[in-house]
Amino acid sequence: MIHLHHLFSLLVLVFFVVSCGNNPLDVDVSAIKSDVKFVHVDSIYYSSSSKDRIKFNKSFLKSFNELYRFTYEKGLKINTKVDSTFSNQVNQFYKDPYIKEVELELKKSFSDLSNEKNQIQDALKHLKYHFPKAKQPKHIVFFNALFSYNAIATNDDVGVGLEWYLGQSNKVIKKLPAQNVYEYMKQGMERKFMVRDIVFQWVYAHIQAPTDAKFAEDMISWGKLLYCIEAAMPTAEKAIIARYSPEKYKWAEENEKQIWSYFVDQKLLFKSDEMLKLGYFNEAPQTAGLPKESPDRLGQFIGWRMVRKYMGSHSDLSLDQLVKVPFAEIMQTYKID
């Protein structure tokens, strides 16, 4: 006879096994180590003296030179030469009235980044699980990049422009000139996308870069990239992986058949025109040729759906093997239920 508490324990165990089994990407990474270091450059500089800024400048040039110089020299137009010139230019930067306002909002919103740091480490552990030989970033560096980028990966590091994640309703975001930062771009300036963007940039730079070929091949390569992000963040909402609002993701899901039919009817699959492809793979208010309410980048979305379908019937395939599978093989297995 099974006692009730034994029966309850058995049911909990069965539920746990079944739940875990529903998502093959939700793997155990507790034994995997992440050595990434986090550096909040903007916070350090904002609260430092001129003398200390010169010291930090020298240190940062050694630790993450390429990323640091790109952000300060290309993005902020600040000379990183190790002398008083750098300190004077940083002083001027922080004296600007708009920058002061941005800094105040950054301090309010990002005084605690522990949740993001934990998520980033977890994502990197998942990447290491699936790609044990792939490179891992040495540093995740937080900047005020003055909207020059949201996240960017170099050979060794990832930079994050925190101001990009203040939220579309924040007053400093509302003040951005519409001719430079379009409304659809402001709508994507949400904190919930930060970890996804960091993972995206690292995977794009070091694991699965999209091809520059015909439409169909590009579609599958983008799908592989998004699947890698999903593998790194297996418990994240699918809308986050796609970088859509919940409403936009729902529209894409519900209209998958119509989207695919449109691609086929327009004979897009074997076109290689770069300007044409921009309308289906790049950020925009919507996807070219589709209804106004459609999200952008639906070429990426369909590619991701294709890869997910393929992996659903090839569960024994590792991600390391997946990125090498020819695009035609994946396309041939694609069917919409």
Q: How far apart are CA 245 and CA 165, in angstroms?
A: 15
Q: How far apart are CA 129 and CA 27, in angstroms?
A: 8
Average pLDDT over residues 190-212: 96
By the 8 A CB rule, do 205 and 96 touch? Answer: no
Alpha helices in the chain (DSSP H): 4-21, 41-46, 50-63, 65-69, 84-95, 97-110, 114-130, 171-174, 183-187, 194-206, 215-232, 238-242, 246-254, 256-265, 274-281, 298-312, 319-322, 327-332
pLDDT value at 4 more than 80: no
Average pLDDT over residues 278-304: 97
Alpha helices in 131-214 (DSSP H): 171-174, 183-187, 194-206
Instruction: Please give the angle made by the CA atoms of 240, 252 and 314, to the nearest 5 degrees.
Output: 75
By the 8 A CB rule, do 295 and 248 touch? Answer: yes
pLDDT value at 16 more than 50: no
Q: Confidence band (pLDDT; 50, 70, 90) for 285? A: very high
Buried b (16+ CB within 10 A) or exposed e, 181-194: eeeebbebbbbebb
pLDDT value at 6 more than 80: no
Q: Confidence band (pLDDT; 50, 70, 90) for 22? A: confident
Please give the pLDDT value at position 20: 45
pLDDT value at 12 more than 50: no
Residue 300 tokens read as 């990426």
Average pLDDT over residues 26-38: 97
Reference 198, options 137, 126, 133; nearest CA is: 137
Tell me how far the alpha carbon of residue 28 is from its chain's centroid: 22
Lay out the sheet containing 151-153: strands in order across: 37-40, 139-143, 157-161, 151-153
**Per-domain residue ranges for the chain?**
37-205, 209-332
Q: Confidence band (pLDDT; 50, 70, 90) for 21? A: low
Residue 90 tokens read as 């940083």
Please give the pLDDT value at position 114: 98
pLDDT value at 14 more than 60: no
pLDDT value at 288 more than 50: yes
DSSP β-bridge partners for residue 159: 141, 152
Q: How far apart are CA 15 and CA 5, in angstroms?
A: 15
Q: How far apart are CA 321 and CA 160, in angstroms?
A: 30
- The phi, psi pair for 123, rounded to 5°, reads -65, -40
pLDDT value at 75 more than 60: yes
The more confidently predicted of residues 231 and 8 is: 231
pLDDT value at 291 more than 80: yes
pLDDT value at 259 more than 50: yes
Please give the pLDDT value at position 204: 97
Tell me what the pLDDT averaged over the chain comes to. Answer: 93
pLDDT value at 193 more than 80: yes
Q: How far apart are CA 283 and CA 328, in angstroms?
A: 26
Please give the pLDDT value at position 294: 97
Please give the pLDDT value at position 17: 41
pLDDT over 90 percentage in the chain: 88
Q: Which amino acid type is present at position 108?
A: K
Average pLDDT over residues 317-331: 96
By the 8 A CB rule, do 297 and 282 touch? Answer: yes
Please give the pLDDT value at position 212: 87
* 161 three-class SS: strand
